[in-house]
């Protein structure tokens, strides 16, 4: 399982904290919302809403 996120995103941090506290085996995939990566073709194929986080 993967979490698509950005560490500066407050909506991601709660999910990241839950994963860390429960030591879950989930890969973190950084999506650079500052360069618009979340609006690119690769990410919108995963999440048409263009928002992070995405599990
Ligand atoms: N509750 C929303 C919150 C997601 C959200 O607002 N994420 C922000 C980052 S904090 C985002 O992806 N913003 C990109 C944008 O609005 O273009 C959801 O998970 O669907």
Task: Report residue 25's pLDDT band, with 50, 70 and 90 as the boundaries.
Answer: very high
Ligand 1 atom 1: residue of nearest CA: 11
Q: If phi over 0 gives left and psi between -120 and 50 gives alpha, with beta otherwise, what is residue 26?
A: beta
- Each residue of 10-24: pLDDT tens digit? 999 999 999 999 999
Query: What number is the average pLDDT over the span 25-51?
Result: 98
Percent share of the chain, pLDDT over 70: 100
Centroid of ligand 1 to alpha carbon of 21 (angstroms): 23
pTM: 0.94
Residue-range domain boundaries for the chain: 2-46
The CATH number that domain 2-46 falls under is: 3.40.30.10
Using the atom order of ligand 1, give the atom closest to the CA of residue 52: 12
Distance (angstroms) between ligand 1 centre and the Cα of 53 equals 7
What residues contact residue 46 under an 8 Å CB cut-off, 6+ apart? Answer: 4, 54
Q: What is the pLDDT of residue 34?
A: 97
Residues flanking ligand 1, CB < 6 Å? 9-11, 33, 38, 50-52
């Amino acid at each position: 399982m993967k979490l698509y996120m950005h560490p500066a995103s407050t909506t991601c941090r709660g999910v990241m904290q839950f994963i860390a506290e429960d030591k879950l085996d989930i890969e973190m995939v950084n999506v650079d919302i500052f360069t618009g990566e979340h609006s690119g073709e690769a990410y919108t194929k995963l999440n048409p809403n263009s928002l992070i986080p995405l599990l």
